[in-house]
Amino acid sequence: MRDKVILITGGGRGIGAATAVLAAEQGYTVCVSYRQNRDAAHAVVGDIEQRGGEAMAVAADVASEADVVRLFETLDRRFGPLTALVNNAGILERQMRVEDMDAARLARIFATNGTGSFVCAREAIRRMSTRHGGKGGAIVNVSSVAARLGAPDEYVDYAASKAAIDALTIGLSKEVAAEGIRVNAVRPGVIHTDIHASGGEPGRVDRVKDAVPMKRGGQAAEVANAILWLLSEQASYTTGAFIDVAGGR
Ligand code: NDP
């Protein structure tokens, strides 16, 4: 039986990919899930395997409950019960004022960023909780500083979906604290990844960096370090906590 098994949703690119590589370096057996970019996810697996680690990639849309259930069943079969979950998969849509947003857009963003994290957490708890015969574990949710700043630069829907993740982190951490499971979150600021291009702003990090006290965007690996610390034994008495990785923003 493997000691440390981690699932990173959206682990093929950006913050998820950096987390997958670092987790493998720290001795985890790694499962990365992806929605559409199969090649990117398999490249992460190849990278880990080349360095002697063990990894797999599984296609699963976190907005689909059936996909998530299948993802966890695949993980059970290949690697055994997971010990760590990183709820990282997330989307950002093009900038828009609230007065112009329709319900379909809101449904999309909440389904991936909000419901996806809830359903993955549920599946993880069913396997980790001592109440269900599990051996405990740790969950890290990837929120955003937008959850507390509100993203008034026309991403209010995104900020609201991340605030849902914050409430999940606080409430769930208390619900499962006595069952051997810790639940924490990171709140990245502006990080150099592709997500800004999907928001319609490819050069956004460099444009907004002057508003960051440290005057630069962050690297995905800097977020990954905080995630791995929260998952580690060094954080054994830390639950319901948030680490901002935002250059002081
Ligand atoms: P990227 O766009 O680089 O990566 C997003 C990842 O999420 C991809 O692997 C993508 O899969 C996956 N994904 C998106 N939707 C789904 C879905 N429905 N089901 C499964 N996987 C999905 O973004 P980042 O690395 O920047 O983002 C990672 C997390 O960090 C997100 O939650 C984001 O909100 C958060 N964040 C990022 C910040 C930043 O400045 N970059 C700031 C604050 C928070 P695929 O490759 O298949 O498309």
The CATH homologous superfamily of the domain defined by 5-245: NAD(P)-binding Rossmann-like Domain (3.40.50.720)
- From ligand 1's centre to the CA of 3, what distance in Å? 27
- The long-range contacts involving 167-175, CB below 8 angstroms and separated by at least 24 positions, are 168/114, 168/117, 168/118, 168/121, 168/141, 169/141, 169/143, 169/240, 169/242, 170/240, 172/121, 172/125, 172/139, 173/239, 173/240, 174/240
- The pLDDT tens digits of the residues spanning 50-68 come to 999 999 999 999 999 999 9
Q: How many CB atoms lie within 10 A of CB 143?
A: 28
CB-based contacts of 203, cutoff 8 Å, min separation 6: 196
Residues with catalytic roles: 158
Residue whose CA is at the smallest distance from ligand 1 atom 23: 195
The yes-or-no verdict on residue 40 having pLDDT over 80 is yes
Region 122-141 average pLDDT: 98
pLDDT at site 36: 97
At residue 245's C-alpha, the angle toward residues 239 and 249, to 5°, is: 120
The yes-or-no verdict on residue 207 having pLDDT over 90 is no
- From ligand 1's centre to the CA of 44, what distance in Å? 15
Among 35, 110, 158, 212, which is best to mutate for testing ligand 1, by the most ligand atoms less than 8 A from CB? 35
pLDDT band at residue 153 under the 50/70/90 scheme? confident
Task: Report the distance separating Cα 96 and Cα 117, nearest Å.
Answer: 24
Residue whose CA is at the smallest distance from ligand 1 atom 44: 144
The yes-or-no verdict on residue 179 having pLDDT over 90 is yes
Task: Report the distance separating Cα 203 and Cα 218, nearest Å.
Answer: 14
pLDDT, greater one: 41 or 1: 41
pLDDT at site 120: 99
pLDDT at site 184: 99
pLDDT at site 2: 86
The yes-or-no verdict on residue 201 having pLDDT over 90 is no
- From ligand 1's centre to the CA of 198, what distance in Å? 10
For ligand 1, residues with CB inside 6 Å are 9-10, 12-16, 33-37, 40, 61-63, 88-91, 112, 116, 142, 144, 188, 190-191, 193-195, 198
Task: Report the distance separating Cα 21 and Cα 185, nearest Å.
Answer: 19
pLDDT at site 31: 98
* Among the listed residues 96, 24, 100, 89, the one whose alpha carbon sits nearest the alpha carbon of residue 55: 24
Among 15, 36, 243, which is best to mutate for testing ligand 1, by the most ligand atoms less than 8 A from CB? 15
Task: Report the distance separating Cα 15 and Cα 12, nearest Å.
Answer: 9
Task: Report the distance separating Cα 40 and Cα 8, nearest Å.
Answer: 14
Q: Please name the residue that has the structure tokens 């923003």.
A: 249
